[in-house]
Amino acid sequence: FNTIDDLDLDGKVVLVRVDLNVPVENGQVSDATRIEKIVPTIKDIQAKGGIPVLMAHFDRPKGKRVDSMSLRIVLPALEHALGQTVKFSDEAIGGPAKRAAADLSAGDILLLENTRFYPGEEANDPTFAASLAALGQVYVNDAFSAAHRAHASTEGVARLLPAAAGRLMEAELNALNAALGDPVRPVAALVGGAKVSTKLELLSNLIEKVDHLIIGGGMANTFLVAKGAEVGKSLAERDMADTAREIMAKAEKTGCAIHLPVDVVVAREFKAGAAHEVLPDEECPADAMILDAGPQTVDAIRGVFEMCRTLIWNGPLGAFEIPPFDAATNAAAKAAAELTREGRLVSVAGGGDTVAALNKAGVAGDFTFISTAGGAFLEWMEGKTLPGVAALQKR
């Protein structure tokens, strides 16, 4: 695909798809990571003489105007990150948007209102895409985290204008390719999270691509059940036990080593600081639940990390929101961070919860790459083609 280096932007209005779907608390952006990450793209476009018109979605207004989902809310944080004022258009298409775009001069930036206020966005309606395309001469997509959506602003417009990937899109694709596409082996994947059922495709795809698959979190319990262990009141999908057995059988065939907890931290209550004990993986009492992986499991995970050259991480190992059940996630995160700092491991992580867990462990900055994507990161790991990325391929 093209990057902004391949396009002539001088004097042109550049439509830039960014992801401004950021968390907001009490009317203020509470985590500006996604906003900060698009700054290099916007600055580079300006340096090449282009005038950026930003388009983005915010939350899920379902094709209607919803005041609490206006991108005006994000405007101050965007201006702060860019260090300049940003003009705003209350409409994303039509006369007012056209006039706002036509009024721009060199150095200006315009932000369009939430594209999801229009039903044509999610329907990827060609007429809506054409109305967006009419606002500029060139299209840049810097929203990897929205690239799993085949929407007008992520997919439709790319087919109507000369198109290129922004810097963040480039970085995301390069990092993910280095982790799964053409990685330095051996490769380990750590997959945690609550449910096997939501990560089935992910597990099947990874088994074909990685040398070691570490399974943690609630879904590890389902695998323990499949192996005949008692898991008491733990979160587990007992009806998925056969599926878990199939995954283990497939892994054996493809030569992927699956690592499950060998010891577990159990408690009787799901609350911070609850009384807990460490037990072998098969011995969770009937009235207790597994809330974290135990110290021997963490040692084993560290051993796998030390053996490997590439790590791709999605999902926490335990109930990381409630200490002390964040201990395994924190310890494993620190181990990965240390090996990365020493240059022994390429570490890539993504997914909403995962990034929160690594931030909490204070090591996110040490990872080789942290994706800004949630759903898109997962779909990419599942081996799916992302429509927003496919539409950027050179034609």
**Residues annotated catalytic, as ranges:** 34, 195, 352, 375
* Interface with ligand 3PG (CB under 6 A), residue from 145, 234, 330, 371: 145
Q: Considering the complex, what minimum distance in angstroms separates the CB of residue 133 from ligand 3PG?
A: 21
Q: Which of residues 114-133 bind ligand 3PG (CB under 6 A)?
A: none
End-to-end CA distance of the chain: 9
**CA-angle at 363, arms to 270 and 190, nearest 5°:** 65
Number of residues engaging ligand 3PG in binding (CB under 6 A): 8
The reply to whether 149 sits in an annotated binding site is: yes
DSSP state of 283: B
Of 87, 99, 86, 85, nearest to 135 (Cα)? 99
Rounded-to-integer distance, Cα 319 and Cα 390, Å:
36
**CA 199 remoteness from chain centre:** 14
Q: Considering only the stretches 134-142, 143-151, 157-165, 205-213, report the one whose residues sit in contact with ligand 3PG under the rule CB under 6 A.
A: 143-151
93: which residues sit within 8 A by CB, 6+ positions away? 118, 128, 131, 132, 134, 135
Binding range to ligand 3PG, per CB under 6 A, among 2-10, 42-50, 141-149, 380-388: 141-149
- Candidate residues 19, 155, 281, 379; the one interacting with ligand 3PG per rule CB under 6 A: 19
Count of alpha carbons within 13 Å of 371, Cβ hemisphere only? 36
Query: Does 314 engage in binding with ligand 3PG (CB under 6 A)?
Result: no
Closer to ligand 3PG by Cβ: residue 113 or 211: 113
Query: Which of 17, 37, 149, 259 touches ligand 3PG by CB under 6 A?
Result: 149
Task: By CB under 6 A, tell whether 295 contacts ligand 3PG.
Answer: no
Quote the CA–CA distance of 52 and 49 in Å, as a whole number: 10
Q: Is 146 in the site for ligand 3PG (CB under 6 A)?
A: yes
21 sits near ligand 3PG (criterion: CB under 6 A): yes
Nearer to ligand 3PG, 64 or 238 (CB): 64
Regarding 166 and contact with ligand 3PG (CB under 6 A), the answer is no
**Residues 339, 345, 348, 353: is their CA dihedral positive or negative?**
negative
Which residue, 143 or 265, is less far from ligand 3PG as judged by CB?
A: 143
Instruction: Report the C-alpha gap between 284 and 186 in whole angstroms.
Output: 33
Write a three-state SS string for 340-379: HHCCCCEEEECCHHHHHHHHHCCCHHHCCEECCCCHHHHH
Give the nearest residue (CB) to ligand 3PG: 21
Residue 374 Cβ vs ligand 3PG, minimum distance, rounded to whole Å: 4
- Residue 36, number of CB atoms within 10 A of its CB: 16
Whole-angstrom Cα distance, residue 339 to residue 57? 37
Residue 37 near ligand 3PG by CB under 6 A: no
Contact predicate 372/172, CB 8 Å: yes
Shortest Cβ distance from residue 373 to ligand 3PG (Å)? 6
Q: Pick one of 61, 218, 351, 374: the residue that binds ligand 3PG (CB under 6 A).
A: 374
Which residues ranging from 41 to 70 are in contact with ligand 3PG (CB under 6 A)?
60
> Is residue 155 a contact point for ligand 3PG (CB under 6 A)?
no
The nearer residue to ligand 3PG, 143 or 266, going by C-beta atoms, is 143
Nearest to 226 by CA among 201, 192, 257, 249: 249
Q: Answer yes or no: is 351 a known binding residue.
A: yes
Please give the residue ranges that form the binding site for ligand 3PG (CB under 6 A): 19, 21, 60, 145-146, 149, 374-375
Question: From the annotation, which residues make up the binding site for ATP?
Answer: 199, 321, 351-354
